[in-house]
Amino acid sequence: MSQPEDTTQCCIAGGGPAGLMLGYLLARSGVRVTVLEKHDDFLRDFRGDTIHPSTLTVLQDLGLLDSFLKLPHDEVPELVGDVFGEITPLADFRHLPAARPFLVLVPQWDFLDFLADEARKLPNFTLLLGTKAEAVIEEGGAVRGVQVRNRERAWHIRADLVVGADGRHTTIRESAGLPITEVGAPIDVLWFRLERDAQAHPARTGGILRPGAMLVMLGRGTYWQCAYVIPKGSLETLRAQGLAHFRDRVAAIAPYLAPQLAALQSWDDIRLLSVQITDLPRWWREGLLCIGDAAHAMSPVGGVGINLAIQDAVAAANLLAVPLREGRLRASDLEAVQKRRQWPARVTQRAQVAVQNSLLSPLLARPAGEHATPPLGVRLLQRLPLLRRLPARLVGIGVRPERVRVAPHPPVQ
């Protein structure tokens, strides 16, 4: 028996930043859109919580920035590092040519809820929570829809375009037979949350570097979101040494956290992010496009993955909204999205690889407690404040930022 079918113009697998932003932009432009999110809500901890100036400018283009900034958030005008005991400003965002020259720290679920609520105001936008995209539907060598399932049933959604925005563990890309290239990453990251003592703890957001260790601390008002960097594949060795040993390692580089570290009672309180950097040589097939982490998984270095994914979504909407709305989408339109976005993704990845190989790997290989002085690049940032604008530009705006070019349009009946 054939399965029941729904139809839409664009079906997007994945309700993350790329999927929801693309869904909103296409629906705003008159395209009928269905977004599939396999979870029942967006409430998942230890996701990227940084919204960069490039994304704030996109929100300004859409008239949503003031509403977004009414959400509880923290504004970070500069990133500051504690490098071998010396406090060093690393990136100064205050001079960026952006709608708001600062990073915004906001729980990703709040950002996604905000986008979803705005998109639901559009009559041709549908968000299906608790609905998993299982595989693409192919006919005549082209993708024509998606097999989907929720708790109650399974069915097909036929679409002029299927978008894989379902992250680095994408089912859409794999079911479509698009192979990836592993670029490689020498690090993993352990995420955990600690209470923040406003009286005893520093106010800055940034990283602490010591021989053999690196800790990134994102200030979230009443708590820290912490990322402890470890060599790739070394978690089991760390676990074998015991949780008390791990707490001691963190306290050795951030002694003021010692009272709060007692809250880490189990390894279940610590989440592993297995870092991947991947490249998809071809992002598209007829009827299918991959964007965001499904096309180019990023390292957490710089925290730019979310913002690159949103830039992909903006570029895709700029190039595809009108052909989709008018029913004349061609494979060359999908190819144009890859041509537009693959270069900035690769440049960013190469910069991340350079940081990992030249800074992080040698840092983690050094014996703990060894005497060290800040490297030349850090000393230059200390002495020449103008240089801090360069990392701010790379992190805050990135390579080839996108602006919203496609105008609002009523849905086609």
pLDDT of 1 reads 41
Query: 57: closest CA among 111, 85, 96, 29?
Result: 96
**d(C-alpha 283, C-alpha 181), whole Å:** 12
**d(C-alpha 278, C-alpha 181), whole Å:** 6
Beta strand segments in 40-124, E? 50-51, 74-76, 78-83, 86-92, 103-105
Q: Are strands 154-164 and 5-13 parallel, antiparallel or unpaired?
A: parallel
Q: How many CB atoms are closer than 10 A to CB 249?
A: 19
Query: 10: closest CA among 317, 340, 235, 375?
Result: 317
The answer as to CATH 3.50.50.60 being correct for domain 5-44+108-183+277-357 is yes
Handedness of CA 140, 19, 344, 230 (dihedral sign): negative
pLDDT of 379 reads 84
pLDDT of 3 reads 66
Which regions in the chain score pLDDT beneath 70? Answer: 1-3, 44-48, 412-413
pLDDT for 56-108, tens place per residue?
999 999 999 999 999 999 899 998 888 888 888 889 999 999 989 999 988 88
pLDDT of 199 reads 84
Q: Where are the domains of the chain?
A: 5-44+108-183+277-357, 187-231+233-273
410 vs 97, 124, 145, CA distance in Å? 32, 9, 24
Cβ atoms of residues 194 and 257 within 8 Å = yes
pLDDT of 45 reads 59
CATH number belonging to the domain at 187-231+233-273, selected among 3.40.50.1220, 3.40.30.10, 3.30.9.30, 3.40.50.2000:
3.30.9.30
DSSP 170-201: -HHHHHTT---EE---SEEEEEEEEE--TTTS
Cβ atoms of residues 223 and 196 within 8 Å = yes
Read off φ and ψ for residue 310, nearest 5 degrees.
-70, -35
pLDDT of 385 reads 86
- How many angstroms separate the first and last alpha carbons of the chain? 31
**d(C-alpha 27, C-alpha 408), whole Å:** 9
pLDDT of 58 reads 97
pLDDT of 334 reads 98
Read off φ and ψ for residue 58, nearest 5 degrees.
-60, -45
33 vs 28, 138, 253, 365, CA distance in Å? 10, 19, 49, 49
